[in-house]
Amino acid sequence: MRVDIWSDVVCPWCYVGKARFDRALATFAHRDEVQVRFHSYELNPTLPRGRSESLLVALARKFSDVPAAEIEGMEHRVADAARQEGLAYRSDRRNGNTFDLHRVLHLAGEAGRQAEAVSALNQAHFGAGRDVFDHDVAVEVFTAAGLPAAEVRRVLAGDDYAERVFADERAAHDMRVTGVPFFVVDRTLAVSGARPADLFARTLDQAWARRAQRVA
């Protein structure tokens, strides 16, 4: 059974949602028969590539009509949710265009290291506050996840896997996805948002039961 997850590297609720899904999957009786595949979704596609800025500066510009106190409250809420999941969370992190990082995640998918690469990016970006938009830092992070440094540098320097990113985003558009994280379980059941772990658990059980009925 396959689970497809649309997410973005800079999306804090994707970080939280993945942790909640992982918790549900760990208790799923058929977890060894579940394949998880991550798909690209860009929250900031118009930002310049290869650069970054303070998260608070980026949020203030993106939500220019929202009071600063409300923006800080939004960040505090997601920080609290992350810590409740036992996740390290840095609000002083950087923000930037994630297109190049998504391309490398497709390289990781081909190498069978996508889950490790996503986890490494999350830990570096949200947990340690590293500037993953700097290509040298990105190479270190992806290398730690098991990818060859030379391959990562080659992808970052070119446009390999760009069409894979666009294809993922077209698929999201076709499904009318307007936010992430977005989960599709066994191509039949959808879960939008960083929902509680017990909801993910019920969805996995329901999808498995439906699959069993189709096979019977």
Q: Over 90: is that where the pLDDT of 112 sits?
A: yes
As a residue count, the chain comes to: 216
Q: Over 90: is that where the pLDDT of 135 sits?
A: yes
Can you give the pLDDT at residue 216? 62
Percentage with pLDDT > 90 across the chain:
87
Sign of the C-alpha dihedral, residues 5, 179, 140, 130?
negative
Can you give the pLDDT at residue 64? 83
From the number of C-beta atoms within 10 Å of its C-beta (0-12, 13-18, 19+), residue 80 rates as exposed
Q: Over 80: is that where the pLDDT of 215 sits?
A: no
Longest CA span, the chain: 57
Give the confidence band of 56 by pLDDT, cuts at 50, 70, 90. Answer: confident
Give Cβ neighbours of residue 212 (< 8 Å, ≥ 6 apart).
Answer: none
The pLDDT tens digits for 159-205 are 999 999 999 999 999 999 999 999 999 999 999 999 999 999 999 99
Q: Over 90: is that where the pLDDT of 60 sits?
A: no
Can you give the pLDDT at residue 201? 98
The pLDDT tens digits for 148-162 are 999 999 999 999 999
Can you give the pLDDT at residue 149? 99
Tokens standing for residue 59: 């949020």
CATH number of 2-215: 3.40.30.10
Nearest Cα to 148, choosing from 198, 83, 201, 104?
104
CA distance 149 to 132: 15
Q: Over 90: is that where the pLDDT of 114 sits?
A: yes
Mean pLDDT computed over every residue of the chain: 96
Give the confidence band of 16 by pLDDT, cuts at 50, 70, 90. Answer: very high
